[in-house]
Structure formats: C-alpha cells, structure tokens
Amino acid sequence: MGVPISQMWTVASYVLKQKFRSNHRYPLVLMLEPLFRCNLSCAGCGKIQYPDHILKRRLSPDECFKAVDECGAPMVSIPGGEPLLHPEMKEIVEGLVERKKYIYLCTNAILLKSKIDLFKPSKYLTFSVHMDGLETEHDEAVCREGVYKKAIEGIQEALKRGFRVTTNTTLFENAKPARVREFFDEMMRLGVEGMMVSPGYSYPKAPDQDNFLERSKTYALFRKILHHGKKSWRFNQSPLFMEYLAGDRHFECTPWGNPTYNIFGWQKPCYLLQEGYSASFEEMMATTNWDHYGQASGNPSCANCMVHCGHEPSAVDYTFGSWNGFLSTVKATVLGLRVSAPESNKLPLLPKRKRFIEAGDDSVSEDLKKVAHG
Amino acid sequence: MAETNSSDSHKRNFSHGVTVDSKDADFMEAIRAAVDYRGDVTIELLDQKKKKLEGFLFNSTEEVIDIFPKDSPRKESILVNELNRIIFSGEDQAAGKGWDDWVKKREQIKTQSSRLSEAHT
Ligand code: SF4
Ligand code: SF4
C-alpha cells in the first residue's frame, strides 16, 4: 500500500485515542473547500455551479486554520473548485504543514507545473491529482482535450521535485475494467505514490428498494477491475474499503468521518449532501441527525452511495476497532488485495433498510443529482 | 415571467422567475427549494423601509435564513417572519448540468463519434 509509515502511525494513534475516549463519532479527514471556482467545467460536477459572486468568494488562511483547529482531524483534504486558483494557497498549505496535518491538495493539475515553486516538498503535503482514466476517458470526463497531457506534465514535474503525488479517480458505470487496469499500470509507471478510486455518485430521482441492483453494478465493476490485481499497483487508501467496493464486505456510512467546511460553514451531513450549515464544528456534530444517513437509514439519498468520503472512515474505524479488522488489513497489506471473482455470487450481508420517514422529504435532494464528482 | 399563484392541488416548480408570497401555503417549501437552488434569489422584507436583498440563499431553519448578498462580503441572517416575498430571480446555474444531462450528453457524443467512424470506413 502507498501510505507512508509515519502517516499510518499518526492515523492509528489518533483513532486509538478516540477509541480509548469512547468517542464513536470522530473526524478523520477534514474536507476543506476554500473556494468553488475552477478552471475546468467537468460535466456532471456539482461543485462549481454557483452565481459568480459566490465563485469569487474564498476562505482566508485564518478561516482555514480555525476550521482545522476546531475539527482536530489528522488529515486535511483540500478539494474545490481548483485549490491552485486560490491566491493564498501557499500560506494555507504552510500553516497546515506547521500544524503537522497530512494534506491532500486535490488538483486537476492544469496549473501544477506553473505554481509548483510556491510549495516545498514535505511528508505532510501530497498533490492528489484528479485523473479519471487514460487520455481518452479523462479528457472526455473533464470535457476538454489536452487536460490529460497537462496533468501528466504536472505529475512528472512534482515527482521530479520530490513531492508526494497520488491520483484520485472517480469511476462511473460506463468505466471499462480493462482500460482502468491499463490506467493503473500507467500511473505506476509514472511513479505516483499511490492511487485512490471511488465510485461516482449517481442518483435516480426516486430510488426504491431495487437500489441493490445499483450496488451490485458497483460490486461487479470493482471485481472486474481488482480481481487478480497486480502486485505493482499501490493504493493510497484502506484495502478494506476496496474490498467493500468489490462487495466482499459491507460498511455503513460514517459521514462525520469526513466533515466538510467551506464558505457557507460546516456542511451537514457530508461532503455530498447539503442539508444545512452550522457555524461551528461542535454545533454541526451535535445538531445533525446522524440516524438519517447511510444505506440502512432508508434515506433515498444514501441508498446507492458507496463513495469514499462516507465509507473509507468506516473501514479505517473497523481496522482499529477490532482484531478482525486489524488482521484483515494486515493480511491485505502484506499479501495484496484479494477480491472475489466477477462471476462469484458472493454478496455482503446488508443491514435491513429502515423505512425512512421525514415530512416533506420523499424525494432525493436536488443537490444529489448535480453532484457527480468534485 | 413571475408566477404568483400557489395551488394546494399541485406542487409548484420553484424555478427561475417564480415569486412566492409569505402568505402562500408552500412558502416554507419555497425557502427549502431556494436553499437547493443554484441561482440568486431576491428577498422582499415586510418592513417596507428596509431594502430588498438579492443574493444566494444557502441555509435555512424554520426561523432563520442565511444569505450571501450579491454586493456584500458578509452573510446576513434574516428572520423568516420578517420575509414578505421570495423571488427566484437569478438564473439557475445548475440547470442542464445535472447527472441525467451528463449521461445524455455522453451518449450523444458516443453515437456521433461512432457514426463518424462508420462513415470513414
Ligand atoms: S451514504 Fe453517501 S450521501 Fe449518505 S451521508 Fe453517507 S456519504 Fe453522504
Ligand atoms: S470535477 Fe474537479 S476539476 Fe472538474 S470542474 Fe469539478 S472541481 Fe473542477
């Protein structure tokens, strides 16, 4: 696996500390969105469709530091918009490195080469480059030709200068497993530290109990990609989360694991849904009705969701919360990821979904349909 | 064109140009829709002396709404019972950019390119 020992140690000791304190709901990765403006306009991205005066607003470095200190998570992911468009990104990164936070600066890398002088290599800073596949697939997903080549140039420059670089890939139903496997080979050839993958977020207007079909599609896709995965592939994410994607185990969502802060405040309940904002992290944690989220809640908005931001913290919690989880993680790390064959009938046992009752909430939030990835 | 009449028999589509009066039965629903709406709204207050406000409404409870006014860096919180009307005045920036639209667009591109390659062979 591609995560360095020092980072693993920081995360492990942080999670164990929460366990000893019997803190069951703790943040693991803060999703810090300092602006929504982007230099791309990927079809299906729900993060950038705002009026111009909203796109011009951004969090100041001090607002970012206050959020990071309030939240206390050991890792900070900086998505957007495009963070490299933020004129004070240098200061923000420096302040977070000073706080010893492991930063994932998520970028489409168009500006990476030209802005790289602003940053110093550090074990705390990783450029997490948005790559949705090989050239054809990536340029199609981002709706612009030439972006793949530009991103590769950015990655090569960052690697040459000694930066940590990972890739983050969102896969949709139309992904071709053989092409994704080729893409993994290509990223490894480039020399990135590790890759992150997550299924995209697609929501039918009114999903019903048939949603399991949607999950089965995700399982089938990831089995085809990951079965007999190559030893050379390195992933910068929990192996148990990948087993979850391939339907070899089940995790319920822990949305508090990846809290989101942006110009509107602390977003309830997760990175994808926008069901209100709180002025403080504490208030967001205390006033969100967590029972309303995750597939078992019966909430139609969560029925098909298997994205990393809700479920990877669950996998990490399982690793450090039980011997079984710990041993499974060690096994997958040492022996490599082993997922069921695509033709296998094995399916995880899902908790029964509750009937979701909330006045006036019988349809999927409009935001869900807007958000594909971001 | 502004649409001002609400009807109990069918749900209104709160889209660009719609005006909702605080006396309308679906006023609270309109506020929730305005939070989801990816365009600016105009808020008219009951107090005629206060100006009306145009901006991006991003948060609401039963009692308060939070809005980023178009021409100010600071957010404003306004009591719901001080509102007179809400107008979906700004263009919806997400219109035509949803998931379904994307899927349709991708399919169109694929059909076009396969037609082109067929034509070349
Ligand atoms: S299941 Fe998905 S949409 Fe629902 S709360 Fe979790 S991350 Fe958010
Ligand atoms: S997906 Fe990322 S790169 Fe694409 S428009 Fe959205 S924020 Fe920008």
pLDDT digits (tens, 9 = 90+) for A313-336: 999 999 998 999 999 999 998 888
Q: How confident is the model at residue B4 (pLDDT cuts 50, 70, 90)?
A: very low
B111 pLDDT band, cuts 50/70/90, is confident
Burial A126-150, CB ≥16 within 10 A → b, else e = bbbbbbbbbbebbbbbbbbeebbeb
Is pLDDT at A372 greater than 70 in this prediction?
no
Quote the radius of gyration of chain A (alpha carbons, Å).
Answer: 19
Residue A57 at interface with chain B, using a CB cutoff of 8 Å: yes
State the average pLDDT over residues A140-166. 96
Angle, helices A5-20/A308-321, rounded to nearest 10 degrees: 70
A357 phi, psi to nearest 5 deg: -120, 115
pLDDT tens across A56-100, in order? 999 999 999 999 999 999 999 999 899 999 999 999 999 999 999
ipTM of this complex prediction, to 2 decimal places? 0.85
pLDDT bracket for residue A213 (50, 70, 90) = low
Instruction: Tell the residue number behind the tokens 């490599």, with chain if given.
Output: A336
* Confidence at residue B69, expressed as pLDDT on a 0 to 100 scale: 97
> Which residues of chain B neighbour A142 with C-beta distances below 8 Å?
none
- The pLDDT of residue A232: 94
* Residue A102, φ and ψ in degrees, nearest 5: -80, 115
Tokens of A16: 């164990």
The average pLDDT across A240-247 equals 96
pLDDT at B3 over 50: no
Q: Are A332 and A231 contacting, i.e. CB atoms less than 8 angstroms apart?
A: no
Fold observed for domain B1-90 = SH3 type barrels. (2.30.30)
The residue type found at A100 is K
The answer to whether residue A371 scores a pLDDT higher than 60 is: no
Ligand 1 atom, smallest distance to A309 CA: 7
Closest atom, ligand 2, to C-alpha of A372: 1
E strands present in B1-121: 19-21, 41-45, 53-60, 64-69, 76-79, 83-87
Whichever domain contains A104, its CATH number is: 3.20.20.70
Which of A151-160, A221-230, A324-333, A365-374 shows the lowest per-residue confidence on average (mean pLDDT)? A365-374
What residues in B contact A43, CB-CB < 8 Å? 97, 101-102, 105-106
> What DSSP element (H or E) covers B33?
helix B27-36
CA distance B1 to chain A (A): 20
Ligand 2 probe mutation, A31, A48, A147, most atoms within 8 A of CB: A48
> Does residue A302's CB lie within 6 angstroms of at least one atom of ligand 1?
yes
If one counts the domains in chain A, the total is 1
Q: What is the DSSP letter of B20?
A: E
Average pLDDT taken over every residue of chain A: 90
Q: Quick one: average pLDDT of A367-374?
A: 41
Residue A374 has pLDDT above 50, yes or no: no
Domain map (residue ranges) of chain B: 1-90, 96-121
Instruction: Read off the pLDDT band of A131 (50, 70, 90).
Output: very high
Give the pLDDT confidence of A216-241 residue by residue, as tens digits: 889 999 999 999 999 999 999 999 99
Could you give the CA distance from residue A112 to residue A345 in angstroms, rounded to a whole number? Answer: 44
Q: What is the pLDDT of residue B41?
A: 98
In short, whether A322's Cβ falls inside 6 Å of ligand 2 is no
Judged by a CB distance cut-off of 8 A, whether residue A229 touches chain B is: no
- Domain enclosing residue A108, as ranges: 5-372
Average pLDDT rounded to a whole number, residues A96-105: 98
Looking at residue A358, its pLDDT comes to: 62
What average pLDDT score do residues B26-49 get? Answer: 93
User: What is the edge-to-edge ordering of all strands in the sheet holding A75-78?
Assistant: A194-199, A164-171, A125-130, A102-107, A75-78, A29-32, A260-262, A265-269, A274-278
Residue type for A44, please?
A: G
pLDDT at residue B2 above 80? no
> Cβ contact (<8 Å) for A365 and B38?
no
- Least confident residue range of A200-209, A352-361, B94-103: A200-209
Cα–Cα nearest to B27, from B91, B89, B87, B92:
B87
Closest CA to A60 of B56, B73, B70: B73
Position A164 pLDDT exceeds 50: yes
Contact B90 A51 (CB under 8 A): yes
In chain A, at which residue ranges do the beta strands (DSSP E only) sit?
A: 29-32, 75-78, 102-107, 125-130, 164-171, 194-199, 260-262, 265-269, 274-278
- Residue nearest (by alpha carbon) to ligand 2 atom 2: A374
CB pairs under 8 A between A and B: 71
Q: Rounded CA gap, B101 and A372, in Å?
A: 11
Name the pLDDT band for A357 (thresholds 50, 70, 90): low
pLDDT surpassing 70 at residue B92: yes
Asked whether the predicted pLDDT for residue B119 surpasses 80, the reply is no
pLDDT at residue A356, as a whole number? 74
Give the pLDDT of residue B6. Answer: 44
The per-residue pLDDT for A92 is 98
Residue B54 sits at the chain A interface (C-beta within 8 Å): no
Cβ–ligand 1 distance for A293 under 6 Å, the answer: yes
Q: Using omega within 30 degrees of 0 as the cis cutoff, is the peptide bond preceding A269 cis?
A: yes
Chain-chain contact of B99 with A372 (C-beta, under 8 angstroms): yes
Give yes or no for residue A368 CB within 6 A of ligand 1.
no
Confidence bin at A143 (pLDDT 50/70/90): confident
Q: Which residue in chain B is spatially nearest to A277 when comparing CA positions?
A: B59
- Structure confidence at residue B1 as a pLDDT band (50, 70, 90): very low
Distances (CA, A) of A218 to A129, A365, B110: 23, 22, 22
Cβ-Cβ contacts under 8 Å for A75 (sequence gap 6 or more): A7, A11, A28, A29, A30, A101, A102, A103, A104
Which atom belonging to ligand 2 lies closest to the Cα atom of A106? Answer: 2
% residues pLDDT > 70 (chain A): 91
Supply the pLDDT for residue A250: 95
Chain A contact present for B27, CB below 8 A: no
- Position B116 scores a pLDDT of 73
